[in-house]
Structure 1
Amino acid sequence: MADSPPADRADHDDDLKAADARELHRTVREAGEDEMRRPARSLFWSGLAAGIAISTSLLTEAALHRALPDTPWRELVAALGYPIGFLIVILGRMQLFTESTITAMLPLVTRPSGRAAMATLRLWGIVLFANLIGTAIAGYAIAHGIIGDAALREAALAVSDKITELSAGRTIVNAIPAGFLIAIVAWVLPNAREQSFWVILAFTYALTIAGFSHSVVGSAEAFTLMFAGRIDLAQTLGGLIAPAVLGNLIGGAGIFALLAHAQVRGEMTETPS
């Protein structure tokens, strides 16, 4: 049987893990503080760009869906197109609502105040609004054949139809793990800079093959269906987008961010900025 590591070495390893966790918490928290200090105009244009760019997830997935034969494995291969939009947005440092659930939440739970709450809500509101305008523009372009040909449009509608299979309540539940997974991406990226591509690819691919609901990509799908006449505005906003937003918030800000903060709360000695 292998010898157990010396007690002092084990204690040292535990100290390093605690220090790493505190440093990661500080890095992500300060990133959120920087985002909340940005002018509203900057947040809006970055969020708008992200909304348009994230729609490439739908387009790439639709292109693969169109090119592949109708087999049981088609969805698994077509799902490889889903991470493309996330790679563009996250590596391009654009403002994505679900990524900001944890970065904006950590400053609030570290130093709760009315001012911090308003700053968090301001960031979320501007970024989400801009993301949705961007996905609405992309959805209109896809539905009306401005982007791609008729075959790509039909493939995009076929891919998007899956989101209508869930009720509003089921969409909320289905969106919780999606918010949790994207919050994990935002949490681990500072320690995985050289592996950022693979981290984003792995987590977002897992998200889509599991069938979880992401509010921003899902809004691109919902707007595409709406502009194609498949669903109405009430179902688009109230039945699909709003439940996904709520579920993502619960998973990202309500569960993962609080857990990430709880693991270091008792060890924090610095005064939050």
Structure 2
Amino acid sequence: MTTPTDGKTPDLSAKEQHEVEKNQPPRAAVLHEIIRKQGDQELERSIAALWWSALAAGLTMGLSLMGMGLLNSRLPEGDEFKVIASFGYCAGFLAVILARQQLFTENTLTAVLPVMTKPTLGNFGRLIRLWTVVLFGNLCGTILVAYVMLELPIFDSKTDAAFLEIGRKVMENHTSQMFAKGIVSGWMIATMVWMIPSMESAKMWIIILITYLMALGDFTHIVVGSAEVSYLVFAGELPWSDFWAVFAGPTLAGNIIGGSFIFALISHAQIRSESGKPKESADQAEKPDPQRIRK
């Protein structure tokens, strides 16, 4: 019985070796390149295409407020039932991401990687253009859907009260909490975006897991939260100044820092540190050394 000197499992056929290679998880560099290319494609899109996709995403994100409000209004009182109601938060994210609509907090990772890879003034300009258009479109969509949900006779009084309670819960945070929770939220969304290419078949479950945890932790998100808090404004419970100064500003800053300056920067640094160490392919590893053969 021979013992392999290269650390490999003995007695594997060529077909079995191929199966081993095929079932290896993608390296971090592969995930980085997939997301970077996606970001580069987004940066190339026209302003009109970005705007309409971002507006659609803002409208769609109203599903998160709707889902939580409907579940809260139909479940009994109690913290244990809030755990179930938090699943409603996932609805908007599932619809937006699976429909490939423009969501600002996704772009804090995807659109940033091309800029980190090639930090030119032109790329920075493209990033600011994309962020501005997508954020404005998202906010217009969420504010519009909050207005429609309040003003049109769509929901019963119990559900309307649940929507108000959701907004009040967000505004219980003071400015520094909005900012700190926004950092965690931005980091979680970036983690979700990074995970999806490696497990495309489990995409739906990844989205549900991450966004459900965001709901349980009451982490602040600029897009979903703008629907929740603007509902309070339209109901006359909150001035627009508080919407922008207490909620939107700190939450937006936190989301950008969590997604871009923490997750994206660390992930990019990891790839840069490995870039000087090219990975030997399986074919090269198996190729015999000609000098050794001559000897």
What TM-score do you get using the length of structure 2 for normalisation? 0.84
State the match for 1:41 in structure 2. Answer: 48
Inter-CA distance 109–191: structure 2 relative to 1 (3 Å threshold): same
* 1:46-57 matches, cutoff 5 A: 46-57=53-64
Aligned ranges for residues 120-131 of structure 1 at < 5 Å? 120-131=127-138
Alignment of 1:235 with 2:235, yes or no, is: no
Q: Aligned AA for 1:236? A: F
Secondary structure (helix, strand or coil) at the match of 2:201 reads coil
C-alpha separation between the residues in 2 aligned to 1:130 and 1:147?
A: 24
For 1:193, what is the secondary structure of its paired residue? Answer: helix
Distance in 2, matches of 1:19 and 1:164, equals: 41
Give the corresponding residue for 1:111. Answer: 118
Task: State yes or no: 1:140 paired with 2:141.
Answer: no
Distance across 2 between alignment mates of 1:244 and 1:111: 28
2:263 to 249, 256, 262: 256
Match for residue 83 of structure 2 among 76, 84, 87: 76
For residues 6 and 187 of structure 1, do their structure 2 counterparts lie closer, same or farther at Cα, with a shift above 3 Å needed?
A: farther
Q: State the alpha-carbon separation in 2 of the partners of residues 76 and 190 from structure 1.
A: 29
Report the alpha carbon displacement of residue 151 of structure 1 after superposing the two structures with TM.
2.2
Residues 1:231 and 1:7: Cα distance change in structure 2 (over 3 Å):
farther
Deviations 1:200-221 (A, max 9, x none): 0000001110111111000001
Q: Which residue of 2 aligns with 1:62?
A: 69
Q: Structure 2: which amino acid aligns with 1:100?
A: N
Instruction: Report the AA paired with residue 227 of structure 1.
Output: F
Partner of 2:34: 27
Give the C-alpha shift of residue 267 in structure 1.
2.7
Give distance in 2, aligned partners of 1:203 and 1:109: 25
By how many angstroms is 1:262 displaced? Answer: 1.1
Matched, 1:221 2:221: no
C-alpha displacement of 1:159: 1.5
Report what 2:167 is aligned to. 160
Q: Is the 8 A contact 1:18 1:264 kept in 2?
A: no
Supply the RMSD in Å over aligned alpha carbons. Answer: 2.0
How far off its partner does 1:149 sit?
Answer: 2.6
| Distance in structure 1 (CA, Å) of the matches to 2:190 and 2:269 | 15
Question: What number of residue pairs does the alignment pair up?
Answer: 261
Q: Which amino acid aligns with 1:57?
A: S
Aligned to 1:90: 97
- Alignment partner, residue 178 of structure 2: 171
Given that residues 73 and 158 in structure 2 are in contact (C-alpha distance below 8 angstroms), is that contact kept between their aligned partners in structure 1? yes
Q: CA deviation at 1:239?
A: 1.1
**Equivalents in 1 of 2:232, 2:186: separation in Å?**
23
Q: Deviations over 1:74-129 (max 9, x none)?
A: 21111011001000000110000001100011011111111111111111110000
CA contact (8 A) 1:51 1:134 kept: yes
Which sections of structure 1, spanning at least 5 residues, go unmatched? none
Q: Between the two proteins, what is the percent identity of the paired residues?
A: 37
Unpaired stretches in structure 2, ≥5 consecutive residues:
9-19, 277-295
Give the counterpart letter for 1:60 in structure 2.
G
Distance change >3 Å, CA 68–CA 266, structure 1 → 2: same
Shift of 1:72: 2.3
Pick the structure with greater CA Rg: 2
TM-score (normalised: structure 1): 0.91
